[in-house]
Structure 1
Amino acid sequence: MWIEIQKAFSLLFGQDDELRQILFLTLKMSLFSTGISTIAGVTAAVLSAVTPAYPIKRYAGWLINTLMGTPPVAAGLIVFLMLSRNGPLGQLGLLYTIDAMVIAQVFLIAPIVTGLSSPVLEKKYEETKETFWGLNIGGRRKVFLLLQECRKPLAGIILSAFGRSIAEVGAVQLVGGNVQYKTRVMTTAIMLETNRGNFQLAVSLGMVLLLCSFIVNSLAGMILEK
């Protein structure tokens, strides 16, 4: 194991331009998809928390819970069909690009962020809505205070979304095509090297992937402790 860790560091800090490009694309894809999913998912969760319990809200909850379990290859297939030449968005030319990979990941991750955030925000809102009403707090300030009260559980949810994003392979392989220097990320590179029988390099790439995830989670943890 120690030998693999050493090799992972040598790959990360060595002269391998392809690995640096793969690492850059992985972080770019994961951070963008997590950021977009967080904005969309938390916004939907806030709306769900402050909205009265109408029947449509219950149906929306069922839909979100269903989308949370969407298989990655199914999400990738839907995005592939939308972005293909004969699809409704085919003229945009996004297929086999990093943008298509981000779209596929948002399709997967945003429902997870919404589904996990909604119960947290709804519970906190029920505990604080009388205080908001009594202090005549509403609008954006109410939303800001609600998010501030739930910042730690929301941070954990966002980190879970990032972990799902950086570890995704099925959807990004389908819509990205694993094109060298263009859409090849850590997970698709590991799969490629494994299929080639180059297990040593695949394990080393896996160690680099774990290292990147550990660094991001450590930085987030230090920020939350302040």
Structure 2
Amino acid sequence: MDYIIGGFAEALKLLLSMDRELYSIILLSIGVSATATLITLTTALPLGVALGLKRFRGEGIFSRVVFSLMGVPSVVIGLTVALLLSRRSLLGFMQLLYTPSAMIIAQVLLITPLATGLAYKLSRKQGRKIKNLGRTLGADRLQIVALVFRELRGEILVIALTCFSRAITEVGAVMIVGGNIKGRTRVMTTAISMLNSMGDYSMGIALGIILFVVTFILNCIVYSLHRE
């Protein structure tokens, strides 16, 4: 138990001393996951809402495929991205493997089914009612879409926070495509995994505390929005 208590004490010292390496890892983690979330929301969210508002052939198959993709292991996504970006592949000339860009791509692929599926389910359940109301009031297509986004802004924010939480806590994909390179691609989850295997518990605990605080705050916001 002594090494655990000592690890927590050292972790607090690192956090309070504004350790440069520690905070560079934290900032990179937030930056990569925030970028991946923004990219996903600008593409998958409108797609999910648009498909949820209309009826089309294969609706059942689409929903099954999307929700099945939510369960794809992150290491499989990481391996897929690594193969696509390797030097022998068609995209090898871009030299993106083991860079933050590769990590962003992996996280986008990871959370796209999540954002699409949740937006589709939300739009199908509540958006169609708003669509019918908009039609009754004589709104055109663009006005209906704007109305749906405005009326469901709280639920859409929940989707955004859920996607960010999923991205920032992921370890498998970013480990494969990022390589956990110090000062370049080392994020909180990959650093914690490495530090634990090395027995460096103080830095690992410090990063664990930050990761827990971030996810706890996000979950509190999501819970509050759901209650409203």
36, 60, 63: which one aligns with 2:62: 60
Aligned residue runs from structure 1 range 1-226, under 5 A: 7-55=10-58, 57-215=59-217
Are the equivalent residues in 1 in contact too, given 2:7–2:201 (CA < 8 A)? no
Secondary structure of the residue aligned to 2:98 is: coil
Deviation, structure 1 residue 74: 0.2
Q: What do the CA deviations read for 1:4-23 (whole angstroms, capped 9, x no partner)?
A: 66654432342421112111
Secondary structure of the residue aligned to 2:132 is: helix
Q: Distance in 1 between matches of 2:110 and 2:64?
A: 16
* TM-score under structure 1 length normalisation: 0.88
**Equivalent pairs: percent with the same residue?**
35
Deviation, structure 1 residue 85: 0.4
Deviation, structure 1 residue 199: 2.6
Q: Distance in 2 between matches of 1:183 and 1:134?
A: 52
Give the alignment's Cα RMSD to 1 decimal.
2.6
The 1:220/1:124 distance shift into structure 2, 3 A limit, reads closer
Q: Number of residue pairs matched?
A: 225
**Structure 1: gaps spanning 5 or more residues:** none
* TM-score under structure 2 length normalisation: 0.88
Q: Distance in 1 between matches of 2:220 and 2:63?
A: 32
Q: Distance in 1 between matches of 2:225 and 2:68?
A: 33
2:27 maps to amino acid: F
The 1:155/1:49 distance shift into structure 2, 3 A limit, reads same
The 1:79/1:212 distance shift into structure 2, 3 A limit, reads same
Are the equivalent residues in 2 in contact too, given 1:5–1:207 (CA < 8 A)? no
**Structure 2: gaps spanning 5 or more residues:** none
Are the equivalent residues in 2 in contact too, given 1:41–1:114 (CA < 8 A)? yes
Q: Distance in 2 between matches of 1:15 and 1:62?
A: 47
Q: What do the CA deviations read for 1:136-159 (whole angstroms, capped 9, x no partner)?
A: 212322112101211222222221
